[in-house]
Amino acid sequence: LNGNPSRYVLRLSGTLKSPKMSFHPPFLMLMPVPLDVETEGVITIIPQDFLRPSRIRVKLPELELADGTRTCPFSVQFPEGQNIVLSSDGTANELICHISFKSSKPMSFLGEMLFIDQEEN
């Protein structure tokens, strides 16, 4: 500025987008099956607004049976991996997730599974 009393103001604005995931289908209904028979469904996880690669993990619900014992009859597999990989254009790969249920005792369940990234989003 060399002694010039003029002031310059620089204004910046921006939008911060939080990473999120959408699911297709948005909910999953597994078919009733006989005891000790596995049933399975497949969902596609669509990551959006991720700024860096991340790894998805799943918190499965633990259920309490009528006799007081606790069990987790669900299992989850990612056949193509559970890493969110960003491409050069900023989009992220979709993840395929197989969710299965098997129980030796009769039960039904309506609830949520939590899909979480490395930063607990």
- For the stretch 13-25, pLDDT in tens is 888 778 889 999 9
Give the mean pLDDT of 40-46: 95
- With cut-offs at 50, 70 and 90, classify the pLDDT of residue 98: very high
Residue whose entry in the numeric block shows the structure tokens 């490395």: 118
pLDDT over 80 (residue 64) = yes
CA 51 to centroid of chain Cα atoms: 16
pLDDT at 65: 81
**Distance, CA of 102 to CA of 111 (rounded, Å):** 16
Pairing of the two strands 83-84 and 114-116:
unpaired
Of residues 34 and 9, which shows the higher confidence score? 34
**Share of residues in the chain with pLDDT > 90 (%):** 43
Q: Is 91 helix (H, G, I), strand (E, B) or coil?
A: coil
Higher pLDDT, 68 or 7: 68
Residue extents of the structural domains in the chain = 20-116
Place of tokens 């991340």: 54
Evaluate if residue 5 carries a pLDDT over 70: no
